[in-house]
Structure 1
């Protein structure tokens, strides 16, 4: 839990429902690059420039800007245009849902240039919720209307795709908010494998508060978030992430279905398209074609028009 920036913050490893049985696959959308940084400047941490690309990364605050920021998140594309990704240990249900936490993209020096968005619901895997499994330390959060005229967060700052597979051996840029800093920090280095399910990167000075910082690969896709092993690592110079795979894609799809506007109602049988190869994006047309030819026995939870107050999914 070192990777959070507010000391004494409580973390729950239960609640937010039954996800383990659901196997729907996520639609991965190609979106513009973000995380501007010179990839040649490896293993060097510096202040991130205030660019439109970096605006898609933001700080998570407790309640409002007066509550202090304690984690980092980034905007990922969704049909509801209202989704962020972060570490699961950043947003336990009792400390986040229903506006208890807010996301502030491009936060800098006490200012919220695009406004702020309340966290309405949080989605994490059962293996995290029930057991605190460090191989499942990723979460998606649906945001409510922003303070700047009710705008959706993706309409305000844009979004990124997800990268399915290992980022190891590639140049990765991480951008995050240390708990004691008022501007984001950025570093680029080569990611390496850490066991079968995790990856690590050497970047100095990524202490508490940088949990949830996106790992951005060439082309702008998010291939991980600081978290996983020891909640992102107990050394500020070494950071970890889980490898995004089928469970992450399924979790993304579940969170996207809760967004607004709601997608069409699901059929009575869930589909299980063939996953893309590691690092490969799946287009909506490909997903549709695969879905029409395959099915399985699991039944997904159907979206409703009721406000989401709990990310509970019944088996």
Structure 2
């Protein structure tokens, strides 16, 4: 038998390598988000189901049939039971429940009642828009003993962000049954208020987390309750007071 030409052997080896790389890429792509599915900056679209969206949920009045009116997100704590939202979303904590990952009438990760609320004194006394950030502890509404962070995970909390940080907002307009997602670079309205240009973030998105590199760096609220124009939204700057509230909630979460 004559020896196989070297160039033909090299061609076949190259083909096998390319096929192997293609197979590996196909396997990896199963766990990675489709880049084409992520909207460009400043564009609002329905959020897909992923780990970040699962940690964000809608706040309801009493039960799922009570209508959702605000948004909240699970944040990390040692006792794994803390959510972040806007202070103005917690006026009726005794009748408010949280459904993380809510979509199309379903609460795949259960319904959670509020067991404690942490808001700044200046919000309680004066409804200061610079203090429109709050944290709450939760427990299963059915009386169980589960921990919400064990179910969906939790975002870290980040302060001292640059003025022009790029954030992703995830929130539930009251008229929609799935969350919306929009990312854009923020700017400062003032030293204590941050703004973002994202269309269609209408009523119900108050309390939506502003995620900077996967950490909660603000919540939709503050100036004008988060904004009267659905295309421009605001958040109080996450500062020392918000960090203290977060620590208080984390300590009392047990």
Q: TM-score when scaled to structure 2?
A: 0.83
Residues 36 and 206 of structure 1: CA distance in aligned 2, closer, same or farther (over 3 Å): farther
Partner of residue 9, structure 2: none
TM superposition shift of 1:120: 1.3
Note the alpha carbon deviations across 1:141-173, whole angstroms, 9 max, x for none: 110235495321100000011111135312210
1:128 equivalenced with 2:127 (yes/no): no
1:84 is paired with a residue of what secondary structure? strand
> Structure 1 stretches of 5 or more lacking a match?
1-34, 261-315
1:140 equivalenced with 2:135 (yes/no): yes
Note the alpha carbon deviations across 1:234-280, whole angstroms, 9 max, x for none: 000000001111111111111112111xxxxxxxxxxxxxxxxxxxx
1:222 equivalenced with 2:216 (yes/no): yes
Partner of residue 49, structure 1: 48
Equivalent pairs, count? 221
TM superposition shift of 1:42: 0.8
Within the candidate set 144, 149, 152, 1:154 is matched to 149
Note the alpha carbon deviations across 1:289-309, whole angstroms, 9 max, x for none: xxxxxxxxxxxxxxxxxxxxx
Partner of residue 208, structure 1: 203
1:257 equivalenced with 2:251 (yes/no): yes
**Higher helix proportion (structure 1 or 2):** 2
1:58 equivalenced with 2:53 (yes/no): no
Q: TM-score when scaled to structure 1?
A: 0.67
Partner of residue 111, structure 2: 116
**Higher strand proportion (structure 1 or 2):** 2
Note the alpha carbon deviations across 1:96-132, whole angstroms, 9 max, x for none: 13xx111100000000011111011111000000001
Partner of residue 196, structure 1: 191
Partner of residue 185, structure 1: 180
Residues 147 and 114 of structure 1: CA distance in aligned 2, closer, same or farther (over 3 Å): farther
TM superposition shift of 1:86: 0.2
Task: Say whether the 8 Å CA contact 1:135–1:228 is kept in structure 2.
Answer: yes
Query: What is the RMSD of the two structures over their aligned residues, measured on CA atoms?
Result: 1.8
Runs of 4+ off more than 6 Å: 35-40
Task: Say whether the 8 Å CA contact 2:112–2:138 is kept in structure 1.
Answer: yes
Relative contact order (alpha carbons < 8 A, sep ≥ 6): 1 or 2 greater? 1
In 1: Cα distance, 2:49 partner to 2:210 partner:
18
1:96 equivalenced with 2:107 (yes/no): no
Task: Say whether the 8 Å CA contact 2:39–2:45 is kept in structure 1.
Answer: no
Give the greater-gyration-radius structure (CA): 2
In 2: Cα distance, 1:119 partner to 1:67 partner:
16
